[in-house]
């Protein structure tokens, strides 16, 4: 087994990208991912790559767009509000079929939110995020070790299908330190195949290459979108990655990714000690989502419990997979406060026994909100009235 | 009979979509001639903007990338840093460069990226239908300024070449015009120099080209040329704003 060294998540990620052959990085400071550009600023120089501190997230992602178009393994990283800004470039990257790596070390939102870890960018990441009909391949690590090893996987998938790849991490993973060992030999960029579509110096007498996402003639854009959809179909069929724990005899199935899955493992131990049979499936690719496997497992359990740091964004995908055949529940920690094992353990019992404790249900909030608004109606200009 | 001129190899034999009288096609031809003369066609990448020149990637016989509105200099930065042997030029209009893309052009210039930027200034948004641009003249009407640009509401026109010339890193900044044969010859010289600087690793080079937009100005091409000379040139004087012979690296090395 490879030697383990103690590393911070963000640095393991940056070094992992370098080892995966990344030779272009553009980024902009934002907490909690600052260690990534800081590390890249000296490390890219060491390996003969390029680092640019951009003037904005928008500029950074457009630098990525230019660099990725040359075929060089290229990446940018940011955190939630910054990734919102990057959507302009991400949709161009997707529309131009360019492989690249985008990292989101998520924090709390919406708006400025908080600088602590969050998972509330799930929908943005898995549905495209920018304008248009597109997807990005989304990998969700749950340890420093995965954070460091996933860039290689992300680049390979991205290049195989010419779809931008995203690593969706969170502030806790980015900031925490753990034992790190890389499970691959450093990639020599010179040994990677030359991309026939890449722009840049033409030394082989090939036809000129054009990188663009527009199609104005009748039917042109539709043909482009449908051609791309064929690759999406292959990704959904062939590239689903997930991990299962204790699912053989489970009565309750937890679905959780990233740091929520880490907390859920501890919660499972607490519940199992009490004799509750609980198992977990951890989606590692969020798109493609392991819908088929979740449906199979759900058919064998009494309850499905989603654990996420958002108000049911992932649960939408779980519900689509389960399709009403098994009751589904949600333990949510939105607002950048991380899930706690003891609370998840309570949620497991609630899911099994039809209780409400530690379960989030939007409908339950309606009654409370209705009463508050009725009160406000009597005094419409009362300070803090919700109208 | 001897041919005294021909279509540059760097300009594809396709029908351009530009309106009659528009200066874009002249600027395209000058760039293409330059690419031929410097023998750089096979390592050149054109960064096409959003705006009237969006299809520039269909006209130049070289690699191309079409980018989001205003981001040309950032995209060019990415290409040049990833592939330093490439010759990269960002071709932009006034809405693209001077409005939505102001941050990208200023910072690419401030970093001294070794790229070439061709900036077409026709004082109006063309493709979207004649809206007011940052370079629209005081009093000039636009579809979003039907009574004419009012400095009390919309401020004064922005002189981009003058602004960028205050930065330390840019090596060459010149404003030219394509309104007459003598000025076209001067424009060619400037464009060629802006590419030569990149080939010779001198650094960031920028050519602003005054051009006409008869369609959105609502005038004939000939009247448009009069407007350019009489109204635009006083606001945007032609000339060299910066011309450094040495790269930033050379200057630092020599302790200058």
Per the domain annotation, does B97 fall within a domain? yes
pLDDT of residue B1: 78
Domain ranges of chain A: 5-238, 244-365
Query: What is the H or E stretch that residue A207 is in?
Result: none
A211: distance to nearest CA of chain B, Å? Answer: 4
List the one residue out of A101, A110, A193 whose CA is nearest residue A147. Answer: A101
Note the residue count of chain B: 256
pLDDT of residue B182: 98
* Residue matched to tokens 């991912």: A33
pLDDT of residue B206: 99
Q: What does DSSP assign to residue B54?
A: G
The pLDDT > 70 percentage for chain B reads 100
What is the pLDDT averaged over residues A207-227?
Answer: 96
Per the domain annotation, does B19 fall within a domain? no
B42 contacts in A (CB within 8 Å)?
201-203
Which residue in B56, B82, B109 has the most chain A C-beta atoms within 10 A of its own C-beta, making it the best mutation to test that interface? B82
List the one residue out of A164, A153, A79, A170 whose CA is nearest residue A130. Answer: A164
Which residue in B43, B48, B63, B117 has the most chain A C-beta atoms within 10 A of its own C-beta, making it the best mutation to test that interface? B63
Query: pLDDT (tens digit, 9 = 90+) per residue, A191-216?
Result: 999 999 999 999 889 999 999 999 99
CA-nearest residue to A197 within chain B is: B63
- Left, alpha or beta for A258 (phi > 0: left; psi -120 to 50: alpha)? left
- CB contact (8 A) between residue A201 and residue B43: yes
Query: Tokens representing B190?
Result: 């400037």
A202 contacts in B (CB within 8 Å)?
42-43, 63
Backbone φ, ψ for residue A134 (5° rounding): -155, 170
A65: distance to nearest CA of chain B, Å? Answer: 6
Which residue in A86, A99, A199, A215 has the most chain B C-beta atoms within 10 A of its own C-beta, making it the best mutation to test that interface? A199
Query: What is the rounded average pLDDT for all residues in chain B?
Result: 97
Inform me whether the pLDDT recorded for A182 exceeds 70.
Answer: yes
Nearest to A199 among B45, B107, B111 (CB): B45
What is the pLDDT averaged over residues A323-347?
Answer: 93
What is the pLDDT averaged over residues A154-169?
Answer: 98
What is the pLDDT averaged over residues B222-233?
Answer: 98
B186 — pLDDT class (breaks 50, 70, 90)? very high
pLDDT of residue A382: 62
B68 contacts in A (CB within 8 Å)?
62, 65, 88-89, 92
User: How many beta carbons lie within 10 A of that of residue A311, not counting itself?
Assistant: 15
pLDDT of residue A288: 98
A367 — pLDDT class (breaks 50, 70, 90)? confident
CA-nearest residue to A91 within chain B is: B68
A96 — pLDDT class (breaks 50, 70, 90)? very high
A23 contacts in B (CB within 8 Å)?
82
B61 contacts in A (CB within 8 Å)?
208
A211 contacts in B (CB within 8 Å)?
64-66
Query: pLDDT (tens digit, 9 = 90+) per residue, A98-135?
Result: 999 999 999 999 999 999 999 999 999 999 999 999 99
Inform me whether the pLDDT recorded for A386 exceeds 70.
Answer: no
CA-nearest residue to A71 within chain B is: B82
Q: Tell me the three state secondary structure of residue A41.
A: helix
Contact by Cβ (8 Å): B183, B174: no
pLDDT of residue A378: 63
List the one residue out of A233, A81, A222, A59 whose CA is nearest residue A163. Answer: A233
Contact by Cβ (8 Å): A148, A7: yes
> Is A343 exposed, middle or buried, given 0-12, 13-18 or 19+ CB atoms closer than 10 A?
middle
Fold exhibited by the domain A244-365: Rossmann fold (3.40.50)
- CB contact (8 A) between residue A210 and residue B64: yes
What is the pLDDT averaged over residues B86-110?
Answer: 98
* Residue matched to tokens 């760039």: B31
**CA–CA dist A158, A165 (Å, integer):** 5
pLDDT of residue A372: 79
B47 contacts in A (CB within 8 Å)?
66
Q: What is the ipTM of this complex?
A: 0.97
Nearest to A211 among B64, B83, B106 (CB): B64
A335 — pLDDT class (breaks 50, 70, 90)? confident
First-to-last C-alpha distance (Å) of chain A: 61
**CA–CA dist B256, A73 (Å, integer):** 37
CA-nearest residue to A75 within chain B is: B78
- CB contact (8 A) between residue A201 and residue B86: yes
The pLDDT > 90 percentage for chain A reads 90
A383 — pLDDT class (breaks 50, 70, 90)? low
Q: Which residues pair with B60 in a beta bridge?
A: B11
Per the domain annotation, does B44 fall within a domain? yes
Maximum Cα–Cα distance for chain A, whole Å?
78
Nearest to A214 among B66, B77, B81 (CB): B66
From the options 2.50.20.10, 2.40.10.480, 3.40.50.970, 3.40.50.150, give the CATH code of A5-238.
3.40.50.970
Contact by Cβ (8 Å): B158, B151: no
- CB contact (8 A) between residue A212 and residue B107: no
CA-nearest residue to B10 within chain A is: A208
Note the pTM of the prediction, 2 decimals: 0.97
Question: Please, what sign has the CA dihedral across residues A79, A80, A82, A85?
Answer: positive
Contact by Cβ (8 Å): A148, A157: no
Task: Look at chain B and report how many structural domains it folds into.
Answer: 1
CA distances for B143 relative to A110, B125, B155, angstroms: 36, 9, 17
A377 — pLDDT class (breaks 50, 70, 90)? low
What one-character-per-residue DSSP string does B83-96 give? Answer: -TTSEEEEEEEHHI
pLDDT of residue A374: 77
Per the domain annotation, does B11 fall within a domain? no
Per the domain annotation, does B160 fall within a domain? yes
Q: What does DSSP assign to residue B98?
A: I
List the one residue out of B42, B34, B115 whose CA is nearest residue B76. Answer: B115
Query: Tokens representing A335?
Result: 């607002």
- CB contact (8 A) between residue B78 and residue A214: no
Q: Answer whether A5-238 and A244-365 agree in fold.
A: yes
- CB contact (8 A) between residue A50 and residue B103: no
**CA–CA dist A155, A338 (Å, integer):** 29
Per the domain annotation, does B7 fall within a domain? no
Question: Taking an 8 Å Cβ-Cβ cutoff, which residues of chain B contact chain A?
Answer: 42-43, 45, 47-48, 54, 57, 61-68, 71, 74-83, 85-86, 103-104, 106-107, 111
Question: Taking an 8 Å Cβ-Cβ cutoff, which residues of chain A contact chain B?
Answer: 23-24, 26, 50, 52, 54-56, 58-60, 62-70, 72, 74, 88-89, 92, 96, 199-203, 208-214
Inform me whether the pLDDT recorded for A373 exceeds 80.
Answer: no
The CATH number of the domain where B189 resides is what?
3.40.50.970
> Is A211 exposed, middle or buried, given 0-12, 13-18 or 19+ CB atoms closer than 10 A?
buried
B45 contacts in A (CB within 8 Å)?
199-200
Nearest to A62 among B48, B57, B68 (CB): B68
Query: What is the rounded average pLDDT for all residues in chain A?
Result: 95
Per the domain annotation, does B207 fall within a domain? yes
Per the domain annotation, does B5 fall within a domain? no
B35 — pLDDT class (breaks 50, 70, 90)? very high
- CB contact (8 A) between residue A211 and residue B79: no
A254: distance to nearest CA of chain B, Å? Answer: 42
* Residue matched to tokens 């579509």: A197
A67 contacts in B (CB within 8 Å)?
78-79, 81-82
What is the pLDDT averaged over residues A44-58?
Answer: 98
């Amino acid at each position: 087994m490879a030697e383990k060294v103690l590393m911070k998540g963000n640095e393991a990620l940056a070094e992992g990208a370098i080892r995966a052959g990344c030779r272009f990085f553009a980024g902009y400071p934002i907490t909690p991912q600052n260690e990534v550009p800081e590390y890249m600023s000296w490390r890219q120089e060491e390996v003969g790559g390029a680092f640019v501190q951009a003037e904005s997230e928008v500029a950074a992602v457009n630098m990525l767009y230019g660099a990725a178009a040359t075929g060089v393994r290229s990446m940018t990283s940011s955190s939630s509000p910054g990734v919102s800004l990057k959507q302009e470039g991400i949709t161009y990257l997707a529309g131009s079929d360019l492989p690249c790596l985008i990292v989101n070390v998520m924090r709390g939102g919406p708006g400025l939110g908080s600088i602590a870890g969050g998972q509330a960018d799930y929908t943005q990441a898995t549905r495209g995020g920018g304008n248009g009909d597109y997807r990005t391949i989304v990998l969700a690590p749950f340890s420093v070790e995965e954070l460091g090893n996933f860039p290689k996987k992300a680049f390979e998938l991205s290049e195989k299908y010419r779809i931008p790849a995203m690593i969706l991490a969170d502030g806790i993973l980015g900031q925490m330190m753990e034992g790190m060992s890389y499970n691959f030999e450093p990639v020599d960029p010179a040994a990677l195949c030359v991309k026939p579509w890449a722009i840049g110096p033409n030394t082989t007498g090939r036809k000129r290459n054009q990188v663009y996402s527009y199609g104005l003639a009748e039917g042109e854009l539709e043909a482009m979108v449908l051609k791309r959809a064929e690759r999406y179909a292959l990704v959904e069929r062939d590239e689903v990655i997930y991990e299962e724990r204790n699912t053989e005899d489970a009565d309750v199935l937890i679905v959780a990714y990233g740091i929520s899955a880490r907390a859920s493992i501890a919660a499972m131990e607490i519940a199992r000690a009490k004799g509750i049979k609980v198992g977990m499936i951890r989606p590692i690719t969020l798109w493609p989502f392991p819908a088929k496997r979740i449906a199979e497992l759900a058919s064998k359990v009494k309850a499905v419990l989603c654990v996420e740091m958002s108000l049911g964004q992932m649960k939408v995908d779980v519900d689509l997979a389960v399709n009403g055949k098994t009751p589904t529940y949600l333990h949510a920690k939105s607002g950048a406060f991380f899930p706690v094992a003891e609370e998840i353990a309570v949620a497991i019992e609630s899911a099994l026994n039809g209780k409400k404790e530690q379960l989030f249900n939007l409908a339950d909030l309606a009654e409370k909100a209705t009463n508050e608004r009725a009160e406000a109606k009597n005094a419409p200009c009362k300070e803090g009235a919700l109208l | 009979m001897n041919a005294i001129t021909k279509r540059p190899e760097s300009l594809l034999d396709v029908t351009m979509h530009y309106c009659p009288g528009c200066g874009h096609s002249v600027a395209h031809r000058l760039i293409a001639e330059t690419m031929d003369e410097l023998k750089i066609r096979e390592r050149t990448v054109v960064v096409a903007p959003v705006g009237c020149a969006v299809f520039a990637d269909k006209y130049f016989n070289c690699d191309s990338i079409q980018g989001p509105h205003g981001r040309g200099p950032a995209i060019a930065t990415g290409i040049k840093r990833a592939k330093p042997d490439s010759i990269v030029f960002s071709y932009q209009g006034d809405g693209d460069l001077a409005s939505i893309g102001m941050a990208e052009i200023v910072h690419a210039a401030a970093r001294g990226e070794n790229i070439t930027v061709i900036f077409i200034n026709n004082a109006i948004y063309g493709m979207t239908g004649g809206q007011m641009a940052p370079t629209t003249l005081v009093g000039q009407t636009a579809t979003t300024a039907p009574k004419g640009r009012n400095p009390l509401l919309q401020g004064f026109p922005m002189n981009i070449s003058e602004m960028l010339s205050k930065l330390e890193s840019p090596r060459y900044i010149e404003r030219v015009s394509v309104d007459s044969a003598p000025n076209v010859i001067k424009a060619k010289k400037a464009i060629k120099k802006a590419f030569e600087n990149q080939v010779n690793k001198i650094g960031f080079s920028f050519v602003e080209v005054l051009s006409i937009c008869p369609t959105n100005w609502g005038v004939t091409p000939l009247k448009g040329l009069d407007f350019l000379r009489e109204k635009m040139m006083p606001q945007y004087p032609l000339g060299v704003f910066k011309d450094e012979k040495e790269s930033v690296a050379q200057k630092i090395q020599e302790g200058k």
